[in-house]
Amino acid sequence: MTAARQEFAPGAGGGSQEARVASFPHTLARTAKAWRRLMNERLGGLGLSQAKWTALLLLEKSSDGIKQCELAGHMGIEGASLVGLLDRMAQDEWIERRPCAADRRAKLVFLSEKSRGTLEEIHRIGREVSRQLLGRIPPSDLAACERVLEAIGERAAGLARDAEREQSGRD
């Protein structure tokens, strides 16, 4: 293993704080990937890929619909990439697109009746996967993990805001 790879390998450095900080992103990404893979396996029978079930879960939060560009931002993809996905989802009757009254150039995306019924199954499967993955972890460890992940998320959001302010100050 190269020095660079060893530096970011799980458990690198014998458990020092520096090694934990270096390996944490890899561990987090690997865990999230494994979780998504399980969800994809379970939801594949419903005809849903990760991109589709992610879009449905985001749309569920808005009864007033979401502009396509906003949905793309929430999903972390470019608007152009989302168009093909939404075309397929509309063709399969998972979503409906409607004109935006406030902006004639924009389209709003809504859940279809078909997807509303399927969301219950998505949530049921999500709860089942969560129980299987987390059921043997002590509640105090889960609470600590949630606190750490929330703190990381808040710090990342703060750094992003700082970078945006710095960038807008240069413009």
pLDDT value of position 171: 66
Residue 4 pLDDT greater than 50, yes or no: no
Residue 11 lies in a domain: no
Question: Is residue 78 located within the same domain as residue 108?
Answer: yes
Domain range for 119: 49-136
pLDDT value of position 15: 73
Question: Is residue 127 located within the same domain as residue 61?
Answer: yes
Question: Is residue 109 located within the same domain as residue 150?
Answer: no
Residue 23 lies in a domain: no
Measured N-to-C along each axis, helices 113-134 and 17-43 cross at an angle, to the nearest 10 degrees, of 140
Question: Is residue 147 located within the same domain as residue 114?
Answer: no
CATH number at residue 123: 1.10.10.10
pLDDT value of position 108: 93
Question: Is residue 60 located within the same domain as residue 132?
Answer: yes
Residue 114 pLDDT greater than 50, yes or no: yes
Residue 10 pLDDT greater than 60, yes or no: no
Residue 75 lies in a domain: yes
Cβ burial of 20 (10 Å; 0-12, 13-18, 19+) is middle
Question: Is residue 54 located within the same domain as residue 113?
Answer: yes
Would you place residue 104 in the very low, low, confident or very high pLDDT band (cuts 50, 70, 90)? confident
pLDDT higher at 97 or 11: 97
pLDDT value of position 14: 58
Integer Cα distance of 159 and 166 in angstroms: 10
Integer Cα distance of 163 and 106 in angstroms: 29
Question: Is residue 102 located within the same domain as residue 169?
Answer: no
Residue 87 lies in a domain: yes
pLDDT value of position 64: 87
Question: Is residue 54 located within the same domain as residue 132?
Answer: yes
List the one residue out of 59, 63, 62 whose CA is nearest residue 72: 59
pLDDT value of position 1: 44
pLDDT value of position 86: 95
Integer Cα distance of 21 and 158 in angstroms: 19
Question: Is residue 100 located within the same domain as residue 131?
Answer: yes
* Number of domains forming the structure of the chain: 2
User: Which two tokens mark 6?
Assistant: 């060893």
Question: Is residue 90 located within the same domain as residue 168?
Answer: no
Cβ within 8 Å of residue 104, ≥6 positions away: none
Question: Is residue 141 located within the same domain as residue 80?
Answer: no
Integer Cα distance of 6 and 102 in angstroms: 54
Question: Is residue 146 located within the same domain as residue 72?
Answer: no
Query: What single letter denotes the amino acid at residue 156?
Result: A
Integer Cα distance of 83 and 110 in angstroms: 14
Residue 80 pLDDT greater than 80, yes or no: yes
